[in-house]
Structure 1
């Protein structure tokens, strides 16, 4: 039987393991999915973007499309990010996302950044292609295709390892949700990759900044009450994620956004027997242990983010007071703290490529 660990915090296993693209010399050598041929550059640096395919993902200010490295035939996901959004220069926001991906490069459960290209209008991140898509698809699938509890234990273990690696680098994701957790393959069920670090922030001791950001169904109570944000914010989201992965239902979703926020603020979470039929008490205890106001979890074991899949039990991390977050990029004041600066000198000429108009 799966086991969810002491007090529900952490995944515990002894004998049985697992019981419960970058910026600057040219697009040469790439072809990517765009609408028809398009050149971005001059002379030898001109790439031809072809093979129009449907976007893998689309957001408000970005689109992700599959691309192929001509020299090797390897598939990647190209994330096209507009540098100006709502009339504001958001290049610093994108550089921050690149820097976070660089910090997380050693984690096997964070999407890998391959290269970066910058044009006058866009920055393109060439990322590892997680062919299995979002875990959201399995969360809402028919019962015979949905995750089993054993699946959820293994995947949550990996999510915790990825989050642990971020927290050990003083980074909080702040937007953990099924749409931002991808699978390397859907059949057979692969491993997870955490993506989309646009709202992530670095937290530094001795400085408290309060901020409203995130996705309504997954946001933590301290965000809504404008209290200091910390790594606990991510752990709350892991609890919501686990609930959704086990049941396909959202624990706090109301008929309106206001009702959803009220449910979160009051920690109004239910575990209906018909919804949780066949789900173990340990799994429910694990979720309850994360959906707490003002929690204080034990510190993350050193090196947890690097632990390979096996019997070692990952534990949620230190969720002490966080710091330095600013306004949501593109909505209100621009971020003034909590950003990570990339080492452009190190990236220059290696993976950071500037393309002329």
Structure 2
């Protein structure tokens, strides 16, 4: 029989009472953690995934789980299984909502959820297998290519399929709220591989009558201005698609500050620009399409269905997107256990007051340290990597503009400076390092140094 140890203290001793209360809380947490693994939290009953599937090699991993290839024992169908440790689930209701929405949606350009399993330690989500990787990774590959971005026709076809999927979601009152290149998978490694929308962790059903949402959710660079102002509808997805189109066409984001808060300030306050030379060879129809999706007033943005009929899309897409076949088998899964809504279902807001639409940027007194699935996703691994990618793009633009006005002797001198400044040999140096190196090099005349300093100051690292 379990022995229960009681901490004997003087009732008049505040410190003793505090120790007793803390000890009681610790015992409760230990019991909760023990019971958590013994009872189903997502499905109706615990089950073993290996009874139906053979689980194979790891395809990828992240902070929330591991993705492996698996095959159906009976049919031999190859699928993917994402395994999430129960100990890492911070918000069960958010995961339930994501699974419920994935069970509800059936579209050729949305990842198909096949099965859900739960054992003592983990949740297993079986989905269709996509071998082409993330659109984010394909974007980085394109940035290193000679052209540096996707061709217009490729973007138009891809975005037409995305719009088709989002139009379907909006027709059943589902709003994704976190569309970005990381949340698109490519079905295979082909250049024209079909695209699949994933990660419905921030999605929700919009009110069919008013459709107004107030929680600040999403990812910097892609979040709509009205989301930051806590009053938005499904049109927030249209803005995110506009940002994605912009990035795919030129290789960098329309609004990008030195940090997440500066980026969000720019989204609310800055006008959309198409800088030269990156946008010089991009058609006016493409620019007009991007402008229509990135209108600050969401009521002036097209719906997903209207955007599909845009002349720029029609110019490259001559046929309708593949519809869901009537005889296509959709694996029916029992609905998740329902429960009455509670305060716990309400999204958590950012721990800072909404910024005014005008005025100077005032950062919050402390950086966010607790990031949940219902807040703006700040400083994630991909977000940090994308910020570095954008900064490299700015340096490349500066050097391209600079070298066009230099003689061959000056270009050679600049190359030697790079080699001396880049002490670790990684091919990357800070702009401030360039300033110091040029200042110390006698090969540059005073006027050239001034020209370089002027160009340096015009770089949009800080635009106010």
TM surpasses 0.5: yes
Aligned to 1:159: 162
8 A Cα contact 1:209 1:325, kept in partner = no
Aligned to 1:8: none
Following TM superposition, by how much is the alpha carbon of 1:209 offset from its aligned partner in structure 2, in angstroms? Answer: 4.0
Within 2, Cα distance between the matches of 1:131 and 1:85? 26
SS in 2 for 1:193: strand
Aligned to 2:220: 216
8 A Cα contact 1:84 1:91, kept in partner = no
Following TM superposition, by how much is the alpha carbon of 1:230 offset from its aligned partner in structure 2, in angstroms? Answer: 1.0
Aligned to 1:196: 199
Following TM superposition, by how much is the alpha carbon of 1:222 offset from its aligned partner in structure 2, in angstroms? Answer: 1.2
Following TM superposition, by how much is the alpha carbon of 1:298 offset from its aligned partner in structure 2, in angstroms? Answer: 4.9
Within 2, Cα distance between the matches of 1:149 and 1:333? 36
Within 2, Cα distance between the matches of 1:72 and 1:239? 41
Following TM superposition, by how much is the alpha carbon of 1:199 offset from its aligned partner in structure 2, in angstroms? Answer: 0.5
Aligned to 2:184: 181
Alignment of 1:1-357 (within 5 A): 25-27=47-49, 28-32=51-55, 51-53=56-58, 55-58=59-62, 60-85=63-88, 88=90, 90-105=91-106, 107-140=107-140, 141=142, 142-143=145-146, 146-204=149-207, 205-206=209-210, 208-226=212-230, 228-296=231-299, 297-298=301-302, 310-311=318-319, 326-327=347-348
- Deviations for 1:1-58, whole angstroms, at most 9, x for unmatched residues? xxxxxxxxxxxxxxxxxxxxx95653213232xxxxxxxxxxxxxxxxxx443x4242
8 A Cα contact 2:255 2:263, kept in partner = yes
SS in 2 for 1:162: helix
Following TM superposition, by how much is the alpha carbon of 1:265 offset from its aligned partner in structure 2, in angstroms? Answer: 0.9
Within 1, Cα distance between the matches of 2:304 and 2:136? 27
User: Which structure 1 segments of 5+ residues have no match?
Assistant: 1-21, 33-50, 314-323, 336-357
Within 2, Cα distance between the matches of 1:299 and 1:52? 41
**For the structure 1 residues 181 and 301, does the alpha-carbon distance in structure 2 shift closer, same or farther, using more than 3 Å as the test?**
closer
SS in 2 for 1:217: coil
SS in 1 for 2:298: coil
Following TM superposition, by how much is the alpha carbon of 1:332 offset from its aligned partner in structure 2, in angstroms? Answer: 8.0
**For the structure 1 residues 293 and 181, does the alpha-carbon distance in structure 2 shift closer, same or farther, using more than 3 Å as the test?**
same
**For the structure 1 residues 277 and 62, does the alpha-carbon distance in structure 2 shift closer, same or farther, using more than 3 Å as the test?**
farther
More strand as a share of residues: 1
Within 1, Cα distance between the matches of 2:276 and 2:134? 27
- TM-score scaled by length of structure 2: 0.54
Question: Which has the higher Rg, Structure 1 or Structure 2?
Answer: 2
CA RMSD of aligned residues (A): 3.0
Within 2, Cα distance between the matches of 1:328 and 1:132? 35
**For the structure 1 residues 312 and 257, does the alpha-carbon distance in structure 2 shift closer, same or farther, using more than 3 Å as the test?**
same
Following TM superposition, by how much is the alpha carbon of 1:82 offset from its aligned partner in structure 2, in angstroms? Answer: 3.8
**For the structure 1 residues 211 and 29, does the alpha-carbon distance in structure 2 shift closer, same or farther, using more than 3 Å as the test?**
same
Following TM superposition, by how much is the alpha carbon of 1:328 offset from its aligned partner in structure 2, in angstroms? Answer: 7.0
155-164 or 209-218, larger mean C-alpha shift: 209-218
Within 2, Cα distance between the matches of 1:231 and 1:171? 8
- TM-score scaled by length of structure 1: 0.69
- Deviations for 1:208-256, whole angstroms, at most 9, x for unmatched residues? 4411211111111112222x22111100000001011112212212111
**For the structure 1 residues 225 and 84, does the alpha-carbon distance in structure 2 shift closer, same or farther, using more than 3 Å as the test?**
farther
